[in-house]
Homo-oligomer: A and B are copies of this chain.
């Protein structure tokens, strides 16, 4: 891992980094970041590591809760080149949507491929982050993010025991995701957009049901998957803090 840029404002330090050819960003408290919980945040489909909502949540988690937050670009997203095959999938998606044809089969293929590539990238990123002296191997690690971030986060959390709490939601469900959920035993919080026009409500309820986690909590709110209310950001922070085993500095 090497850092390529650093800025800071208020009490948050933002550092861009590369792990191999994967670009990422790390937000840390300006002081007192030693041993802080590490939160891995995924971005949504078509977005990137510095998408507006992700940056807002990351900064809040750092400044209000003292977490360290990392995000990376998914394959073919943000600063990363999109492969010819990815371009074909995206074109097929746009075509199907415009034609009013079912997009499910394309989504499953494309998302499966993205997850397959992204999981080892996240694992290499965790390795690199844990090699930083201010993080180390003792800091508890959480994962969070909806839509594409959940597509990637489910197999990642099922496979990597370093992640001990996760927030998921708003995802188009297919069998591999349900199978990953069945292998997850760490505490999870699941955000279900109650009026998602693209994703069947029951499929979200079934996915929540599939988690093997003894502690899991479902939060449903009116609206689509881009309309999750801000107070869920606070709820998620408290969820992480509860399971990271330290009292969070709570903001109103």
Chain A positions near chain B (C-beta within 8 angstroms): 192, 194, 205, 208-209, 214-222, 229, 231, 234-235, 238, 241-242, 247-248, 250-252
A17 to B118, CA, bound (A): 62
Q: Pick 14 A–B contacts, CB within 8 A, sort by A.
A: A194-B209, A214-B222, A215-B222, A216-B221, A216-B222, A217-B220, A218-B221, A219-B219, A220-B220, A231-B238, A231-B242, A248-B252, A250-B250, A250-B251
A55 to B118, CA, bound (A): 49
Distance between A117 CB and nearest chain B CB, rounded to angstroms = 33
Distance between A214 CB and nearest chain B CB, rounded to angstroms = 7
A205 to B221, CA, bound (A): 12
Tell which of B217, B220, B247 touches A221, judged by Cβ atoms closer than 8 Å. B217
A219 to B221, CA, bound (A): 9
Indicate if the CB atoms of B217 and A219 lie closer than 8 Å.
yes
A205 to B252, CA, bound (A): 29
Tell which of B214, B219, B247 touches A252, judged by Cβ atoms closer than 8 Å. B247
Distance between A221 CB and nearest chain B CB, rounded to angstroms = 5
Indicate if the CB atoms of A238 and B247 lie closer than 8 Å.
no
Residue numbers in B under 8 Å from A215 (CB-CB)? 222, 229
Residue numbers in B under 8 Å from A234 (CB-CB)? 238
A242 to B229, CA, bound (A): 12
Indicate if the CB atoms of A218 and B220 lie closer than 8 Å.
yes
Residue numbers in B under 8 Å from A192 (CB-CB)? 218
Residue numbers in B under 8 Å from A216 (CB-CB)? 221-222
Distance between A127 CB and nearest chain B CB, rounded to angstroms = 32
Excluding A194-B218, A234-B238, A235-B235, 7 further A-B contacts by CB distance (< 8 Å) are A208-B220, A214-B222, A216-B221, A216-B222, A231-B238, A241-B252, A248-B252
